[in-house]
Structure 1
């Protein structure tokens, strides 16, 4: 019954002709941020916090633009301008395009519980021409209004969890400046990149290394499946540091092979194992085609104990909902008997936060998992309508074209079982 109801929602969305969710660009036209009951001071404080986080993101050059410098290393200073959309880009300490700032400020505000309101073109042009103080006066009557005059164009919907969401692409420059941003002064943010003290990442284990792992070693297993278009896609896991003196490895990366491509539509499947320091580990980011989507605004986290063997999930990249499935049964056959008996599914909690970086920033929630104590963003920003897990509706989908295969179900049949095996990852 749940599948049928979700399917009906997806088909209804498709019939409207709306485009899929997009983390790479802002809502078009004149917009502002709104949250019922908020004050202008609340709005400005949230916006300043998002600007600070956004300054640390680095955009790849747009198509046709060649960059001879990489991301900043060491001290960096970035100016986030209030009238994003009027210039081409800022080039401070590396290729930092202002369009990435606009997209990420909107991503951040949406995760924090604000929705994006789209203003009529004529009214938006009138407001944009007003002095900053007059814009702020108009916003003060709208940002917290229980029934604002402008329609809602975007709100948090756990978009990173949906395979139809646009994430791994250069960001387009906004057509119009945000009315919310236009009330803010330009902000200069200084920081050091990359963060100091990061140890080299943990390498994937070969089959014989898994068998030889000491009894007190903590192992994490990840299963990835995908098709041609997902080749090279990576899941980045990071550990929460215990303190400045903690120099143990804090990263491992599970990835689909990228040096070879199967035939069009062919599926490939891999299970990877990592010997990690015990502690709290997070699904921190996704990478593909040189673009990193950083879940710094809300990351799924799970504990790993010394001597434990944890299955972090089966991620079917490219599916409408790409994961994880947490049944560890299929992974047990690749483990020695003692390890197989100890294998447990990761106990995920949503909402761990961290310092932002990468290309795009957002949050990722595993439906049904609880939230870490104190987290009030994402779907936690909206009270649940009743008992039970809250799962957002699928994002709007592109209209079906003639010749597209029929939609039969939102939850595709499991992939043909392939006996998991460990081996050296090909990147």
Structure 2
């Protein structure tokens, strides 16, 4: 678990075939005989992306049933841990390979009976199957039925995102053929030598006293609003400060690089939405929406996410996140963010932009994008 987000959270179906009212399950593989497709791509493109997704999936692990991944202790101190379910790891990594490919804009095509009967026997002959896929993975008119493609499923409260990976379904011809061809294409960078973390690097807590909610010259004051019903009361979203490079966490400068607001402490009458507004004082830098978690299930948006720049002396509004709906920031500046009498001068909406992939870990992996306005 290389990043602070994974430290905190990891230690701490068919879209076209289903009726519109069905719940999409992100923790299972697509049934049927399938392959990955991207118009115009080559077989080499397919193999390289598959290799990257296999490598990223190998960094994930399924927690043991009843475990709790939300242990807010820096595991680099050697005092926090979580047990993993080795039986479910195989299924979970298959799920993560599929989610990774979809997050990188590869669609899933499901073969009809005739094509499935023709190609399925080649699973026993990976080289022949690989050759057969050469004309399929990038075809302008692909074989089969389009059954899954990228949407912001990970931030859709209607999706099933937090169940364990109990089993896999279907046969992925891409995976069966491409494992051998992809082997050796991706070489992971060595883990850098890191200093020992201190208490100053632990995740930030929200500011509680009014006198602390003020702008300072060496930090960025941010406000974030969460809403959701009782079902999401244990959910968190996590923001992570970027380090000097992809392999080095930002806390090497001995300042915190994570904050993770939740509605967990908000009491409410049954049936009414919970609302929480939180203020944090952040070290300056670039901060990405790194993932989300519910008890022992965590997601990393390591395949691409959104991020904002925090500059010293600024006050930013990070938006309102509906944890039981579309969990992307609504940047409407509401009256309940902060009372007018305490609203910092110059408070403005954060500007989110796209942020690329980074080293993965956690239980599940995916990517998100901010819809164009």
Superposition TM-score tier, normalisation by shorter sequence: 0.7 to 0.9
2:226 to 224, 242, 257: 224
Q: After the TM superposition, which residues 411-422 of structure 1 pair with which residues of structure 2 at under 5 Å, given as runs? A: none
Q: CA deviation at 1:200?
A: 1.2
Q: Are 1:354 and 2:358 matched, yes or no? A: yes
- Partner SS state of residue 106, structure 1: helix
Of Structure 1 and Structure 2, which has the larger fraction of its residues in helix? Answer: 2
Worse overlay, 198-207 or 267-276: 198-207
Cα–Cα, structure 1 residues 110 and 342, in superposed 2: closer, same or farther, change >3 Å?
same
Cα–Cα, structure 1 residues 294 and 211, in superposed 2: closer, same or farther, change >3 Å?
closer
Hey, what does 1:318 align to over in structure 2? Answer: 324
Q: Are 1:345 and 2:364 matched, yes or no? A: no
1:251 to 253, 258, 283: 258
Q: After the TM superposition, which residues 365-380 of structure 1 pair with which residues of structure 2 at under 5 Å, given as runs? A: 365-368=369-372
Hey, what does 2:7 align to over in structure 1? Answer: none
Structure 2, unaligned stretches of length 5 or more?
A: 1-15, 77-82
Q: How many residues are paired up? A: 334
Cα–Cα, structure 1 residues 138 and 18, in superposed 2: closer, same or farther, change >3 Å?
farther
Deviations 1:83-115 (A, max 9, x none): xxxxxxxx9996661111111111111121211
Q: Return the alpha-carbon distance in structure 2 between the equivalents of residues 310 and 294 of structure 1.
A: 24
Cα–Cα, structure 1 residues 255 and 124, in superposed 2: closer, same or farther, change >3 Å?
same
Cα–Cα, structure 1 residues 190 and 141, in superposed 2: closer, same or farther, change >3 Å?
closer
Hey, what does 1:117 align to over in structure 2? Answer: 109
2:52 to 28, 49, 58: 49
Hey, what does 2:9 align to over in structure 1? Answer: none
Hey, what does 2:142 align to over in structure 1? Answer: 148
Worse overlay, 291-300 or 164-173: 164-173
Q: Return the alpha-carbon distance in structure 1 between the equivalents of residues 291 and 191 of structure 2.
A: 17
Q: Given that residues 223 and 277 in structure 2 are in contact (C-alpha distance below 8 angstroms), is that contact kept between their aligned partners in structure 1?
A: yes
Hey, what does 1:407 align to over in structure 2? Answer: none
Q: After the TM superposition, which residues 7-406 of structure 1 pair with which residues of structure 2 at under 5 Å, given as runs? A: 16=19, 19-61=22-64, 97-121=89-113, 123-130=115-122, 131-183=125-177, 184-185=179-180, 199-211=201-213, 214-242=216-244, 245-257=252-264, 262-319=268-325, 321-331=326-336, 333-334=338-339, 337=342, 339-368=343-372, 389=373
Q: Return the alpha-carbon distance in structure 2 between the equivalents of residues 290 and 209 of structure 1.
A: 35
- Partner SS state of residue 366, structure 1: coil
Q: Return the alpha-carbon distance in structure 1 between the equivalents of residues 333 and 70 of structure 2.
A: 40
Q: Given that residues 214 and 221 in structure 2 are in contact (C-alpha distance below 8 angstroms), is that contact kept between their aligned partners in structure 1?
A: no
Q: CA deviation at 1:129?
A: 2.4
TM-score, with length taken from structure 2: 0.79
Cα–Cα, structure 1 residues 306 and 17, in superposed 2: closer, same or farther, change >3 Å?
closer
- Partner SS state of residue 133, structure 1: helix
Q: CA deviation at 1:33?
A: 0.3
Q: Return the alpha-carbon distance in structure 2 between the equivalents of residues 282 and 261 of structure 1.
A: 29
